[in-house]
Amino acid sequence: EHSRAALGRTTTRQWLQSKLEAPGTFNTRTIARQLDALQRGEGPTYFEIVMDIFASHRQITLVPA
């Protein structure tokens, strides 16, 4: 639960906003949509994104702390 809280909405918002500051590096339209969804409570948090990535790799097994 610590990781879920630490990588929640606030951290995700900061992460997405930092991407908007580098428009040549990231697709700003996509990032802006993700940020808007997050602010509406609909977008995934950084924690959820990371967990989805782990889940897509069958050879990785997460063990609760």
Alpha-carbon span 18 to 23, nearest angstrom? 10
Query: Is residue 63 in some structural domain?
Result: no
Per the listing, tokens 């428009």 go with 23
Average of per-residue pLDDT values in the chain: 93
Alpha-carbon span 2 to 29, nearest angstrom? 31
Query: Is residue 61 in some structural domain?
Result: no
Alpha-carbon span 9 to 17, nearest angstrom? 12
Q: What is the mean pLDDT of residues 48-52?
A: 94
Q: Which domain holds residue 11?
A: 2-55
Q: Give the SS3 label for residue 40.
A: coil
Query: Is residue 30 in some structural domain?
Result: yes
Res. 64: pLDDT tops 80: no
As for how many domains the chain has, the answer is 1
Query: Is residue 62 in some structural domain?
Result: no
Query: Is residue 38 in some structural domain?
Result: yes
Query: Is residue 14 in some structural domain?
Result: yes
Q: Tens digit of pLDDT for each residue in 30-43?
A: 999 999 999 999 99
Alpha-carbon span 18 to 59, nearest angstrom? 31
